[in-house]
Structure formats: structure tokens, C-alpha cells
Amino acid sequence: MFDASVSAAGLILLSPFLLLAGMAIVLEDGWPMFFRQQRVGRGGRLFQLFKFRSMRTCLPGRSITAGDDPRLTGVGRILRKYKVDEMPQLWNVVKGEMSLVGPRPEIPPFVNIDDPVWRAVLQFRPGITDLASLVYRNEEEILGSSSDPESYYRETVLPAKLALNLRYAQARSFRRDMKLILLTVRYSLFPSRFKPAFILDAFPVSGPDGFQPQER
């Protein structure tokens, strides 16, 4: 109820700003305004995730975005820098497919439903933000430094994010969720101030078998 109410209010209050963002996308690169993609939700159920489109539709590429991806539009780079491209997911929250806070939903090829870790993570409703996505806010830059971004994501970044998801869930509370939302808003408005070490200090967690999230 809280998630749905806040998200509906957010869509109404931010509608002028969202309309301007959508118009900027269309003026630069035409339609469509939104990007829809199938993601894996709670219990392994598939749903359509909404984002503002930040890439050109005519260029093929990887299933993940790394560094200075040539598919990104000028408007898209700005939207992604300030995480504005994620705002349409408030509609997913209103529909009950997502929460404000929860593990970020992945595309089916990256999900191994037979893995016990994945089964544990998929017990929770996916969210717009979570500790892992905040710690790895600069994920595209991290992947851009790798010679094989997709393999590096699968083998290094994704397991680290899943571990953070589970450790955060063990100590989750309404207060911690609100703190996470406020920090997400803060770094969306002021991305230059982002410091992974500060996030790790604000939410002290350690993962399975002594795992410590990377401070990159």
C-alpha cells in the first residue's frame, strides 16, 4: 500500500518533468518514448519493465550497457546519469510488479532459476533501488574497463550484487528502506558526490563466506 501510494503520487507530481523528458527523447531520436523489456520478477514470474528509452533502436549491441556505448543518444546519456530513465518504473510499482526497494530485476538470460542463491533472491519483489544497485551505481564505468563486459558482469558483478541483496534482506526494515530511498534520490540529483565507501559504511553488511562488496 505504501509503495503503490507513494509511486502513484510521484507519477502525478512528476508528470510535467516526465513529459519534458519524454518529449526530449522523441525530438532527438523519434518514437518510441519508452523502452519495454521482459524481466524476471518475484517467484520467477516474467513482467514488462518500463524505462525511458536512452538508446537508438537501429543499432545492435550487447545485452548490457558498458562505458561509452555508441547506442546511447545525447538525451539518453543525461537521463542515465541522473537515473531519470528509471522513473517510469513507478508504474510497475503501482501495478504491483515491483517495489520501491528490492533486488533489481534481471533479464531472463542472466537468471539461473536452479541456483539456490537466485531462488532466495527471487523470494522478494524486485525494486527500483536496492543496496546493490546503489553500491554499483557506476556499474557502466566498471564494465567499460573490462575487455569482456558481459562475462565480467556475469562472473563478478552479478554474484556480488546477489550477495548484497541477500545480506540486506536479513537486516531490512522500514527505516533502512527509507534511508536507502533518500540516498538514491541524493545521488541521482548529485551524481558527482557518489562514494561507494560511504554507502557501505551507511549499510554495514558482509556477504556469505566473508564476502565484502567491492568499493569500486
pLDDT per residue as tens digits for the range 56-71: 987 777 888 888 788 9
The grid coordinates of residue 17 equal 518533468
Q: According to the model, what pLDDT value does residue 28 have?
A: 97
List, in sequence order, every residue forming a beta bridge with 34; answer none if it has no partner. 52
The grid coordinates of residue 28 equal 532527438
Phi, psi (deg, nearest 5) at residue 89:
-70, -10
- Counting every residue written for the chain, the total comes to 216
pLDDT in tens, the chain (216 residues): 999 999 999 999 999 999 999 999 999 999 999 999 999 999 999 999 999 999 998 777 788 888 878 899 999 999 999 999 999 999 999 999 999 999 999 999 999 999 999 999 999 999 999 999 999 999 999 999 999 999 999 999 999 999 999 999 998 999 999 999 999 999 999 999 998 888 888 887 654 443 444 433
Q: C-alpha 110: how far from its chain's center?
A: 14
Q: How far is CA 48 from CA 66, 96, 108, in A?
A: 22, 12, 12
Q: According to the model, what pLDDT value does residue 205 have?
A: 61
CB 180 within 8 A of CB 199: no
The grid coordinates of residue 104 equal 533489481
Which uninterrupted H or E stretch holds 49? strand 46-52
Q: According to the model, what pLDDT value does residue 206 have?
A: 54
Q: Whole-angstrom Cα distance, residue 41 to residue 38?
A: 9
Closest CA to 183 of 174, 193, 168, 173: 193
